[in-house]
């Protein structure tokens, strides 16, 4: 399908948001003053608020955009406690719905709230100097459109992004509190609880991850993969009630090998990016130690993607880790662009152009029914 006007709209939104968040960074570099001092001044933060406002308005006031839009509208207007979208244990989403209804607000406020919460957390969590680049990759990698569709899960994803700081600081109480809040919006977030106990020091080795990702990729090519992973997932989910309940709703199409996450060029492009990140892993970590978590979770997501590429439900679960790729690539971007090697700079430009092509294809193919874009007029 051709949606030239929608493509123009989405491009204007993306570039406006990126430029707005880039203005304070440019001013900081231009004035040669300390970046963190400058970026925390209200004069500079106003640009970030404007960018966030645009994202929230576009997501909140969309009309019939997103494959689950009509379902969420119906659930909100005709609240049903037995709806598949109102699940046992997801008290966060249920509470948010009831709170908005108690004020007599229409369904638009549900979509506005579902945009404000995760995107605010992403803005707060991101390195302010890298925010424009992170947003560029979030848009072009499709996460802007995912937030139009998987709105409960995207709230949980935003909370997880925010909780990364507690993993770095080894604050078990705040990390678990954050994840339990995420679970209250989407039960699949239960898989994030064990992450606190992973040996991140030992995992900070690119050769180990190279072997793991290569092994998972070879496993992906095996004709026995689907049958083996089906048995493995059903066995593991039997010990995790929330995950079993979540997967049960996807049972009919659980092992569908068709779609954008099978063997398309976009998928191969993302796999290639992981190997590029592995190559520059130590270089990025030396300059930006805080990037380690984003890199490790990107590798973890790539491994899961290879192992479960044919399983629709697990593709959704893997969003928690795949979003980290946008953060990891932002750190790679500034590391290579600030270097002296022209070939590396050309590589970065090639990555951006590749993502712009993916962005066009996402809109052209109306991923998650994101095209055409329509808006609600109160």
Whether 291 is covered by a domain: the verdict is yes
CA distance 185 to 170: 24
Decide if pLDDT at 365 tops 90.
no
Sign, CA dihedral 172-174-175-179, equals: positive
Q: What percent of the chain has pLDDT over 90?
A: 50
Other beta carbons within 10 Å of 211: 11
Query: Quick one: pLDDT band at residue 26, thresholds 50, 70, 90?
Result: confident
- Which residues have a Cβ under 8 Å from the Cβ of 4 and sit 6 or more positions away? none
Q: What percent of the chain has pLDDT over 70?
A: 79
Whether 11 is covered by a domain: the verdict is no
Whether 305 is covered by a domain: the verdict is yes
- For 83, phi then psi, to 5°, come to -65, 150
Q: Encode pLDDT of 178-199 as tens digits.
A: 999 999 999 889 999 999 998 8
Whether 250 is covered by a domain: the verdict is yes
**Any long-range contacts for 2-6 (C-beta under 8 Å, 24+ apart)?**
2/364, 3/363, 3/364, 3/366, 3/371, 3/372, 3/373, 5/372, 6/363, 6/371, 6/372, 6/373
Average pLDDT in the chain? 83
Least confident of 119-123, 210-214, 302-306, 366-370: 366-370
Q: Which of 144, 159, 237 is nearest to 192 (CA)?
A: 159
Whether 224 is covered by a domain: the verdict is yes
Q: What is the mean pLDDT of residues 330-335?
A: 95
Least confident of 33-47, 53-67, 111-125, 254-268: 254-268
**Residue 62's beta-bridge partner residues?**
375
Question: How many domains are contained in the chain?
Answer: 1
Q: Which residue has the higher pLDDT, 188 or 177?
A: 177
Whether 153 is covered by a domain: the verdict is no
Q: Given this model, what pLDDT does residue 216 score?
A: 86
Q: Encode pLDDT of 119-130 as tens digits.
A: 999 999 999 889
Decide if pLDDT at 293 tops 80.
yes
Tokens of 338: 């600030």
CA distance 70 to 368: 13
Decide if pLDDT at 234 tops 70.
no
Q: Given this model, what pLDDT does residue 323 score?
A: 96
Whether 323 is covered by a domain: the verdict is yes
Q: Encode pLDDT of 155-174 as tens digits.
A: 999 999 999 999 999 999 99
In 238-280, which ranges are continuous DSSP H helix?
241-248, 265-279
Tokens of 101: 């209804």
Tokens of 149: 């569709």
Q: Given this model, what pLDDT does residue 231 score?
A: 63
Task: Using the CB atoms, write b or e for 245-282: b if 16+ within 10 Å.
Answer: bbbeebeeebbeeeeebeeeebeeebeebbebbbebbe
Other beta carbons within 10 Å of 375: 13
Whether 273 is covered by a domain: the verdict is yes
Decide if pLDDT at 261 tops 60.
no
Taking CA atoms, 181 is separated from 41, 87, 131, in Å, by 30, 15, 25
Q: Which of 162, 181, 149, 190 is nearest to 366 (CA)?
A: 149
Tokens of 91: 């008290």
| Domain extent at residue 266 | 198-338
Q: Given this model, what pLDDT does residue 259 score?
A: 37
Decide if pLDDT at 225 tops 90.
no
Identify whether the C-beta of residue 178 lies closer than 8 Å to the C-beta of residue 160.
yes
Q: Encode pLDDT of 77-105 as tens digits.
A: 876 544 555 555 688 998 998 899 889 89
């Amino acid at each position: 399908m051709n949606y030239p006007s929608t493509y123009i709209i989405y491009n204007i939104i993306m570039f406006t948001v990126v430029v707005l968040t880039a203005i304070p960074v440019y001013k900081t570099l231009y004035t040669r003053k300390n970046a963190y001092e400058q970026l925390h001044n209200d004069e500079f933060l106003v640009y970030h608020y404007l960018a966030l406002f645009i994202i929230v308005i576009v997501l909140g006031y969309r009309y019939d955009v997103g494959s689950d839009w009509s379902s969420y509208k119906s659930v909100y207007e005709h609240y049903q406690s037995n709806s598949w979208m109102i699940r046992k244990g997801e008290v966060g989403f249920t509470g948010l719905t009831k709170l908005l209804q108690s004020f007599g607000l229409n369904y638009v406020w549900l979509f506005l709230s579902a945009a404000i919460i995760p995107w605010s957390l992403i803005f707060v969590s991101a390195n302010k100097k890298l925010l424009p680049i992170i947003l560029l990759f979030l848009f072009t990698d499709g996460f802007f459109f995912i937030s139009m569709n998987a709105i409960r899960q995207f709230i949980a994803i935003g909370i997880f992004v925010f909780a990364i700081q507690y993993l770095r600081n080894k604050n078990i109480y705040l990390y678990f509190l954050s994840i339990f809040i995420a679970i209250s919006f989407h039960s699949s977030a239960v898989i994030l609880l064990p992450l606190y106990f992973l040996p991140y020091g030992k995992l900070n080795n690119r050769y180990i991850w190279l072997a793991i990702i290569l092994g998972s990729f070879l496993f992906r090519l095996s004709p026995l993969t689907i049958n083996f992973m089906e048995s493995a997932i059903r066995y593991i989910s039997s010990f995790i009630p929330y995950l079993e309940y979540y997967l049960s709703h996807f049972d009919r199409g659980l092992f569908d090998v068709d779609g954008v996450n099978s063997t398309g060029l976009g998928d191969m492009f993302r796999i290639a990016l992981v190997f590029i990140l592995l190559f520059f892993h130590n270089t990025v970590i030396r300059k930006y130690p805080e990037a380690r978590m984003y890199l490790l979770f990107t590798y973890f997501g790539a491994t899961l993607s290879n192992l479960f590429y044919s399983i629709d439900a697990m593709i959704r679960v893997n969003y928690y880790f795949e979003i980290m790729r946008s953060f990891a690539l932002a750190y790679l971007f500034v590391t290579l662009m600030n270097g002296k090697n022209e070939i590396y700079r050309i590589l970065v430009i090639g990555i951006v152009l590749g993502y712009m092509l993916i962005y066009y294809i996402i809109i052209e193919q109306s991923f998650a029914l994101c095209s055409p874009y329509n808006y609600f007029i109160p």
